[in-house]
Amino acid sequence: MQQRTLGTSGLQVSALGLGCMGLSFGLGPATETSEAIKLIRDAVERGVTFFDTAEVYGPFVNEEVVGEALAPFRKDVVIATKFGFEPDPSNDGKWTAANSKPEHIKQVVEGSLKRLKTDTIDLLYQHRVDKNTPIEETAGAVKELIQAGKVKHFGLSEAGAKTIRRAHAVQPVTALQSEYSLFWREPEESVMPTLEELGIGFVPFSPLGRGFLTGTITAQTTFAAGDIRSTLPRYNGEARDANQALVEVVGKFAEQKRAKPSQVALAWLLAQKPWIVPIPGTTKLARLEENLGGATLALSAEEVRTLNEASAAITIQGERYSEVNARLIDR
């Protein structure tokens, strides 16, 4: 697979990474451990070198799976994980409370290193901006971890442009991870100009709109227990029906290209900027192979423009997150 560099950091990764969250958390029952490990190793065999996890996925379980799966290939892969959450007593103990205090970060990293079976975390993200902790303190703590050799690169997730600049002034930010796809194009105006100016890479999560852009979610789809999409407004009711207009646009374009909708959606992202590295997730080998085909699907400038215009003409219905999660988004 082709390699890309995240901004000006020098961190090279495969053009498509693998988002590992869904193997353990967020999309219904967890994949059996041996099968999850096999899928991750199948990705390595197919050229994927960039793997994304987090302390909160499980919690803890996903890091353990990723660590076990990648142990034989550790020198050849890049592992990204995240800090920034803790149990929230006001929300039934769910991991929705933000905590990016320096002492907490250092404690989390020690646990992540053990679960990931590694001496160094390649890319450490702040999972969500902690509005109770100055970002300068958070960036300073990560800087100390980098100086200690426990972390190599610093990242942010769902951070706004002002926060990115403040963090970058303390410790250079290698990558921003935020939702970005044909289903959610807001980052093009809010953060991408800042990323380009500062030389920061962009790692879109949910690049397939949590599966919506594949055309597999219809009015008849019922989400499994534990699937976070059941709580997200844009995937339910009238919003889901209205948003099918975008699915139809992508589907028709894919037919013309003799490709899958997922491949078109990923190729479109890759065509936006050379420092963008999407991390689609899956639990199935067939879907993994389908997604990786997006890295080799060439789109002309005219085709990209056609998709840009067609998607921009459709107003996506429904909020991106429920109220509890929305308050953690930094803008």
- CA-based torsion, 323, 107, 120, 36: positive or negative: negative
| Structural domain includes residue 229 | yes
| Structural domain includes residue 331 | no
| Structural domain includes residue 270 | yes
Q: What is the dihedral of CA 102, 108, 109, 112, to 10 degrees?
A: -170
Q: Say how many domains are in the chain.
A: 1
Catalytic residue among 57, 125, 180, 235: 57
Q: What is the CATH number of the domain that holds 137?
A: 3.20.20.100
| Structural domain includes residue 152 | yes
| pLDDT value, residue 324 | 61
Q: In terms of residue numbers, what domain contains 260?
A: 3-326
Which residue in this structure is represented by tokens 């290698």? 174
Q: Which residues of the chain have pLDDT under 70?
A: 323-328, 331
| Structural domain includes residue 231 | yes
| Structural domain includes residue 296 | yes
CA distance 249 to 252: 5
| pLDDT value, residue 331 | 66
| 278 C-beta neighbours (distance < 10 Å), count | 28
Reply yes or no on whether 57 is catalytic.
Answer: yes
For the chain, the maximum distance between any two Cα atoms, rounded to a whole number of angstroms, is 54
| pLDDT value, residue 327 | 67
